[in-house]
Structure 1
């Protein structure tokens, strides 16, 4: 007879769009090979300007400044987590923290997420798992995407799982193996453009809806060589900054037209990434799921059934999945698929930090 086990884990995520720190307290229950979950409490704490500037500037920081930032950011996360845990009267067995990505250069053999796990433990007294990507990179993988493990274990009813965050990525099963990859930049570019209109983001895609697509720019974006690469493949800020941003900045179109064009680009690239799959249910999460115009354009381009789940799952799916990845690390089980990352083998990734 199969017995069930339950685990409470707090997942912490900070994405490339730098909107804030997502925290989700997740209760996982296992019955044999099957996992179920519930989100007990969740919130996003927006970054104050000082932290947004510090994290966006980390890419350019010197070695000593980066070491200090790693320590200070860990302490900052620990303070937020301690408040979240106490306010919600939680008793987690584990914290799983993705950290903030400064560098992601798997082809050169390294990736770096800051937010010292020891500092989180010091503030919370809770076992903390972080640094989920570097092991996979060290054995030849892309170190990304990592969310597909959660897609497969937590959302078996959805053959296609799409996340539209700073970068859009997708996962699905093919020949009984999980396949996943980064598709294209998404909110990272849309938010950059929205700021030119004095807004932190394009609410509901209204500015894009009011614009006109610049066909020459759209054609140039769609012709970027990355889109013709076969997976596994992943995108970092470096690629966006060096290739995409210059194309946008040199175009003289107004902001609404640029938003309309890049929204169309995202919808077309997502559609193209799953064009050869049988028509099926597509779970869409991440901040882009709240962008009504983007979802309309995606629905027009794809034959898959686009489904937006409840708000908490849209907003906190990545925190939920990293909570699961941390739990799997603690249990000593596979939490990175080589079929996704291109590594030489599956792995059980993450560094465990214990209270002193």
Structure 2
């Protein structure tokens, strides 16, 4: 009995020993796993710490030694630098370059594009693209220079005619400010001018654009190619009208000058003996007429047999020759049907469909 009892105790003791051994093994495994996780986390933490220390040292010790400005013509290097706020000695990386670019656009209205580049070890390059003045708007608020994109560049206070600029009349621009676009003026004429600029630019016609009259909201008038005075009618579908204008001019002689109407269903060319110009005071077209002035009918004083009063009558010259149709040769104007119709000194030719 004793032997059996001892055997049972020994067996139980062996089981406890095995259980104890198994328990120690699991704990050791957990400790190993924890040590591995801790080691990996420590390595990652060390990596980031070293990285940030290097970045901090890198940023701290790299100073701007040189600032280079490229592409500027209207502004000097010093003006560009002052607008950017950058200077030698500044940290190469501790500034917001996009904020600096916005500041430059706000201060320098002639800028169209700006890029700021960093180059190690200590160089900052400012690359700019400038626009130029193309129009001089004679507004009630002053004379404003406008870019081809319709941006207000500056007020012209010189009092002199700027060479190479198209003069624009009929705008007020009460809220004009350097650096803003014309279409923000909440003025119908300004919107029409922007549409005209866009239309002529898309059709590569901007170089031939002359003076512009926006006095009448229902009709834009402008001189073109130093040969024509163009009337667009309502300021709509201007891009298509510019295409028609170029097609019409291609069908004319290189010596033709006159008045071109683009409004309505038909295009019309009215020849003139001299180049039409805008009369900015009376807003009327200055031109001599459609025909040879030596053949214009003359006016004579006659006496009305019924009343005995003197009246003016116009002789009808049947040999009067109208201007030549650009598509057909020797086109003649029909004879006037009534005496009343014959009492005008100048009779415009019929519309010339261009298609």
Question: What TM-score, normalized by structure 2, do the two folds share?
Answer: 0.21
Rg comparison, structure with higher value: 2
Question: What TM-score, normalized by structure 1, do the two folds share?
Answer: 0.21
Which of 1 and 2 has higher RCO (CA within 8 Å, sep 6+)?
Answer: 1
Structure with greater helix share of residues:
1
